[in-house]
Structure 1
Amino acid sequence: MVKHFNLYFKNKIFNCICIMFFVLGCSTVKIEKTDIGYGWANNSVNTVKFRKNALTTHNEYQFIAYYDENSYLILGKRKINTKKWEIFKTSYKGNTKDAHNDISIAIDGDGFLHVCWDQHDSKLRYVKGKSPLSIKIGEEEPMTGKEELKVTYPEFYNLANGGLLFFYRSGASGRGNMVINSYDIKSKKWIQIQENLLDGEDKRSAYWQACIDAKGIIHLSWVWRESWDVSTNHDLCYARSKDGGITWEKSTNEKHILPITASTAEYAWRIPQNSSLINQTAMTVDKHGNPFIVSYWSENKTPQYQIVYLDDGKWMKSNTGFRKTSFYLGGGGTKQIPISRPDIFIDDNGTHSSLYIIFRDEERGNKISLAYSNLNEKSNWKITDLTKLSVGQWEPNYDINLWNKNHKLCVFLQKVTQVDGEGLEDVKPTMIQVLELNKLPK
């Protein structure tokens, strides 16, 4: 009896110690916020997930872009590890009533700012900085003059040689094609390298996410959508390029004959229509170059955040499984959804490798939340909230370049609303902030 009691007591102490160390570990996560200025908050245009990028860093400077309360394009920069921002109100405006019309920015290898904004099946709007590291911009100009009349979802990606890639959809939802432009810093010119990489064959369109690894390999994944209705999203596909986007292959090294279609694509994971599958999420790679794709969909009636990843040449899936509330995703326009699209990154320096997901969920009071798991042990997911108050219909966007360089997490933060189906809420402008974490939970 005494022996059993002692064993019980020891187990209790051990569990308490484990909990204590877990709490102490989480308490070391230092979170700081920096105020920048007030922004448009009547919908989610400043915080949509498909911004590439809302925040970006070049050398010692971090840059930001957003719409103010009067829909003007605002640009800003600061020296990293400081709180003082230089802000420039441009003469350009955007149609902020449409949450698709986001702003994307990048800095090329010579330090020039590139900005694209106000795009939804409309003419390209693109400007460059006047000088290196300047937030003063020039006049609107074309990139290549090709496929620039019906542009949607502009995204910039940095290349190791200092150049840039620019991804966008040409055409409308359900029948659009994926275009890729490439910027050379020597000639300071754009060329179009893909006019129609992902071909919907006038029957469907691709909604993608991408990342570029340390070796310069472009990893691309996407879902197909059969119409304007988000419920027709289906399947998760994958392709990669080892030469800057010119040629593409499957994970098996099999070369693609371009363009890639529904019948020729590599399917990382089969997901049927009407699964509440979301589009335009995020992906990353581990230190071995294996892609990790995060999304959400339902395998019963409760959408869960899911990770599809490559392991020893085989596609695997991990269901985080921590959500409890069901909902159904369907209809058109920008949706009011109980959860945000997720972002993802991996901390695999040293002996401890962790996988992180940034998200928002009504279950947790619509706070910014961070879920994490041991990548090597594939342990259960733990969750910590990074804000105390609700951020409304916010979706995550973090400074990818700063994370890759310094392993410091900076997240674009603004409390916003989103009325379902592209509606507007009559609310006051809210503060644009940058949320910074100098140490992550393990």
Structure 2
Amino acid sequence: MVKKSICSGIVLSLIISTLFWINGSEAMASNTKHDPISKHYPIEDTYIRNGADSNENYRLANEIGVKDNSSSTGRIGYLKYNLSSYKSDVANKATLRLFVRSKTTGSIINNIFGIANEVWDAGTMTWSNGSPYHDVASNLYPSIQDITTNIEGGYLLDRQIITAAGTYYEYDVTDYVNSELSSATDKIIAFLLTSENDLNVNYDSMESGSNKPELILEHPATAHTKVKKLSDTILAQDGLTFADVKFGFFPNVSGGSIVTYNGYQYTVYYNSDRHVCVARRASGSEAWEIAELTDYLFTSIDTHNYATLGISSDGVIHLTFDHHANDLHYRSSQQGIANNPAQVQWSSSLFGPVTNQLSGNTITDLSYPTFVQAPNGNLLFMYRTRGSGNGWRFLATYDSASHGWTLNGKMIHSSGTYVGSYTGTSTQRGNYPLGFVFDQNGRLHMPFIWRETPDAMSNHDINYMYSDNHGLTWKNISGTVVSQTGSTYATVESPGIIVSPIPQRRGLVNSNFNTADADAAGRIHFMSQHMPDDTPDAAASNEVVRRYFHYWIDENGNVNKTNLHAQGSNSPVLLADNGDAYFVYISKSYTYTKIEDRKFGQGKLRIARATAASNYTDWNIIYTDNSLPGLAEGLRIDADRFKKDGIISVFVQENPKTMLGEATKVRIIEYGIKQPFGQQNKLKT
């Protein structure tokens, strides 16, 4: 059956303001003309102390003391800042810079938390008079989870190893500050300092003189590339969400695809009737046609079981759906319908029956299917079999001339020996690609990570292989063959495949999204999320403080990375014609809407940019969409639309508003990067 959906968008205006002196802050120029830095000092700071001094107030002390409470002499530090002088609603980076005046001998791990409670009075607080965090003060560590989830909205932001006195230590608090800037009405931001060790660290306080605690905000540079919101259409009113959660609530943004082909845009999603829906529209149109495939009922509550599509050059639309170690669910359209879309009446009757076979070959135990269109018009199908701790990566190829599939076989095997700090010695594992992408020379790139067990703390190492024959032969970065698909396979012991060694316990994320792209020079770019190098290892998942890192491999095989000082959804990297990189993501949220017993974030859709001229070191947030409601923490990007038209087309889904499991809107939002901004896309008011 066919449905139509038409929606008007909303005009978004951006106000860019300058920084000036007010409320204990100052603006100062950085090395670039359009990148001012504002330095802010506390309006209040103090610490509380257990033991014999539990009734003492330290508001006027020259230090902020921090110590674990295992010997009942704990100390907890507090800082409060007023950022009303900062007129933007976003900072490229926010750094809390603290000077250690004295410490006990040894290496001491300190933690910084953002705390929602901002009404505490530094002049009256003591350990024993009922401070906001008194309930956990007697056992603050290792019960970090008490603060991060239960106690008045406290969030672990960063961790540092304190090794010396007489020097500054910097804590990255960017995401929390941005969340407060965009959502708080008073722009008062509070932090809490703790220690994981029963050893003293004393930071200079606001009373100390020259080494006051500094909160330094780097303002986004004035964007040379302008962003214009072109359209915001409702694809569906009835997007599926889950009430009983398993790996998340939103199967439609946990994977999948949105593709532009021959002047039409296509995507696939699950509706609230638990049917697969295939949607299309002419590029730039606001009218969607939806074919609801009612002959298959999606019964899972597992967000891994996303739906995805690919299009081959014979005009066939290929669909897979509902997989997490399941038999293949595949169906395809009639030939030619994507090659002559205007002459085709969109209907579910265009699609064949569901099958577990590709050209007579049964596929079982399948997860994470991905379609990639090859430069010759064929379609590659990548997927994993078996489990996360013992998985194999396979390739199948659809020939657009013969209209049939070939199962090429395994590319990556689970065998080999690895010794990790979290799992010890293991002899099997799974692999998780960070993306598959062809460059303009026809080379196929695949960055990926390893996972030793179903526990994400066992993730390690960013690896890379490339293929010059559409995935049949894979080479490492030096050009040495490491896999012949179907006969010999890449393993954890393959030489030269690691391009960024990352041990276990570093918060490395395994992504189901395609985060990779290639620029005009054939350089591969991809995003990964993990902990910065200077952050101590995490003993458990609640100690992980990860950030986005942009990786790119240059023409000489050199691997480069840049910390974006942000975290949030898994999202693709997009490259413009001039090689500049654009990154789209849903920011991490520290404000929540509570539905029943679950919390849903209010993260913002942001676009960041880095220039090729800077070697991709000048990442700037160039756009924040403040007009959107609360969004699920995931999105899809139409890379084809961006490459052709310079338009970032984003698939998002709204959070539930009243009850778990209710249907929510699926939106397709378009932002113009290149000028002119796609004249057929006029945002209606």
Deviates most, 224-233 or 210-219: 210-219
Would the alpha carbon gap of residues 31 and 391 (structure 1) be closer, same or farther in structure 2, given more than 3 Å must change? Answer: farther
Would the alpha carbon gap of residues 116 and 426 (structure 1) be closer, same or farther in structure 2, given more than 3 Å must change? Answer: same
Instruction: Give the counterpart letter for 1:41 in structure 2.
Output: T
Say yes or no: does 1:382 pair with 2:590: no
Where structure 1 has 5 or more consecutive residues not aligned to the other structure, the ranges are: 1-10, 324-337, 418-424
> What is the SS of the residue equivalent to 2:494?
coil
How do 1:310-349 residues align onto structure 2 when only pairs under 5 Å count? 310-323=553-566, 339-349=568-578
Aligned partners of 2:223 and 2:466: how far apart in 1? Answer: 41
Say yes or no: does 1:359 pair with 2:567: no
Q: Shift in Å at residue 93 of structure 1?
A: 2.5
- The Cα offsets for residues 97-130 of structure 1, whole Å up to 9 and x where unpaired, read as 1101100101110211100000110100000112
Aligned partners of 1:78 and 1:16: how far apart in 2? Answer: 40
Partner of 2:281: 78
- The Cα offsets for residues 129-157 of structure 1, whole Å up to 9 and x where unpaired, read as 12413553111231145461101001100
Aligned partners of 1:289 and 1:189: how far apart in 2? Answer: 30
- The Cα offsets for residues 367-418 of structure 1, whole Å up to 9 and x where unpaired, read as 111121112213432112135335443312111222223232111111247x
Residue 29 of structure 1 contacts residue 440 of structure 1 at CA under 8 Å; is this kept in 2? no
Partner of 1:305: 548
Would the alpha carbon gap of residues 314 and 112 (structure 1) be closer, same or farther in structure 2, given more than 3 Å must change? Answer: closer
- The Cα offsets for residues 29-85 of structure 1, whole Å up to 9 and x where unpaired, read as 23421112121123121001x42x2x1111011111110012111111111111111
Would the alpha carbon gap of residues 228 and 307 (structure 1) be closer, same or farther in structure 2, given more than 3 Å must change? Answer: same
Would the alpha carbon gap of residues 306 and 184 (structure 1) be closer, same or farther in structure 2, given more than 3 Å must change? Answer: same
> What is the SS of the residue equivalent to 2:285?
coil
Q: 2:662 aligns with which of 390, 414, 428?
A: 428
Partner of 2:499: 268
Partner of 2:381: 166
Partner of 1:56: 259
Residue 166 of structure 1 contacts residue 182 of structure 1 at CA under 8 Å; is this kept in 2? yes
Q: 1:406 aligns with which of 640, 645, 652?
A: 645
Would the alpha carbon gap of residues 15 and 164 (structure 1) be closer, same or farther in structure 2, given more than 3 Å must change? Answer: closer
Aligned partners of 2:377 and 2:273: how far apart in 1? Answer: 34
Partner of 1:226: 452
- The Cα offsets for residues 300-341 of structure 1, whole Å up to 9 and x where unpaired, read as 153111122212424333232423xxxxxxxxxxxxxx7211
Partner of 2:304: 100
TM-score (normalised: structure 2): 0.55
Partner of 2:158: none
- The Cα offsets for residues 189-208 of structure 1, whole Å up to 9 and x where unpaired, read as 00011x22111126101001
Residue 413 of structure 2 contacts residue 491 of structure 2 at CA under 8 Å; is this kept in 1? yes
Instruction: Give the counterpart letter for 1:211 in structure 2.
Output: V
> What is the SS of the residue equivalent to 1:190?
strand
Q: 1:46 aligns with which of 242, 247, 252?
A: 252
> What is the SS of the residue equivalent to 2:644?
helix
Partner of 1:439: 673
Say yes or no: does 1:143 pair with 2:358: yes
> What is the SS of the residue equivalent to 1:235?
strand
Partner of 1:183: 398
Residue 58 of structure 1 contacts residue 111 of structure 1 at CA under 8 Å; is this kept in 2? no
Q: Shift in Å at residue 363 of structure 1?
A: 4.4
> What is the SS of the residue equivalent to 2:550?
strand
Aligned partners of 1:32 and 1:214: how far apart in 2? Answer: 29
Residue 65 of structure 1 contacts residue 74 of structure 1 at CA under 8 Å; is this kept in 2? yes
Residue 40 of structure 1 contacts residue 46 of structure 1 at CA under 8 Å; is this kept in 2? yes
Q: Shift in Å at residue 294 of structure 1?
A: 0.7
> What is the SS of the residue equivalent to 2:641?
helix
- Structure of greater relative contact order (alpha carbons < 8 Å, 6+ residues apart): 1
Would the alpha carbon gap of residues 138 and 277 (structure 1) be closer, same or farther in structure 2, given more than 3 Å must change? Answer: same
Residue 178 of structure 1 contacts residue 206 of structure 1 at CA under 8 Å; is this kept in 2? yes
Instruction: Give the counterpart letter for 2:474 in structure 1.
Output: W
Aligned partners of 2:299 and 2:450: how far apart in 1? Answer: 27
The number of residue pairs the alignment matches comes to 402
Aligned partners of 1:360 and 1:57: how far apart in 2? Answer: 22
> What is the SS of the residue equivalent to 1:162?
coil
Q: Shift in Å at residue 221 of structure 1?
A: 1.1
Aligned partners of 1:270 and 1:152: how far apart in 2? Answer: 26
> What is the SS of the residue equivalent to 1:426?
coil
Residue 368 of structure 1 contacts residue 391 of structure 1 at CA under 8 Å; is this kept in 2? no
Deviates most, 229-238 or 146-155: 146-155
Instruction: Give the counterpart letter for 2:663 in structure 1.
Output: P
Residue 367 of structure 1 contacts residue 388 of structure 1 at CA under 8 Å; is this kept in 2? no
Would the alpha carbon gap of residues 82 and 256 (structure 1) be closer, same or farther in structure 2, given more than 3 Å must change? Answer: same
Q: 1:279 aligns with which of 510, 522, 525?
A: 510
Instruction: Give the counterpart letter for 1:259 in structure 2.
Output: Y
Instruction: Give the counterpart letter for 2:443 in structure 1.
Output: I
Partner of 1:328: none
Aligned partners of 1:180 and 1:415: how far apart in 2? Answer: 34
Partner of 2:203: none
- The Cα offsets for residues 162-191 of structure 1, whole Å up to 9 and x where unpaired, read as 110000001111101001000001111000
Q: Shift in Å at residue 428 of structure 1?
A: 2.0
Aligned partners of 1:316 and 1:76: how far apart in 2? Answer: 39
Residue 174 of structure 1 contacts residue 205 of structure 1 at CA under 8 Å; is this kept in 2? yes
Say yes or no: does 1:116 pair with 2:320: yes
Instruction: Give the counterpart letter for 1:381 in structure 2.
Output: W
Aligned partners of 2:506 and 2:644: how far apart in 1? Answer: 37
- The Cα offsets for residues 348-376 of structure 1, whole Å up to 9 and x where unpaired, read as 33xxx421111122248411111211122
Residue 576 of structure 2 contacts residue 643 of structure 2 at CA under 8 Å; is this kept in 1? no
Partner of 2:60: none
Residue 252 of structure 1 contacts residue 313 of structure 1 at CA under 8 Å; is this kept in 2? no
Would the alpha carbon gap of residues 67 and 96 (structure 1) be closer, same or farther in structure 2, given more than 3 Å must change? Answer: farther
Aligned partners of 2:388 and 2:452: how far apart in 1? Answer: 9
Q: 1:204 aligns with which of 429, 432, 440?
A: 429
Aligned partners of 1:375 and 1:180: how far apart in 2? Answer: 33
Aligned partners of 2:33 and 2:527: how far apart in 1? Answer: 32
TM-score (normalised: structure 1): 0.84
Where structure 2 has 5 or more consecutive residues not aligned to the other structure, the ranges are: 1-28, 37-87, 89-218, 243-248, 339-345, 416-426, 536-543, 591-601, 676-685
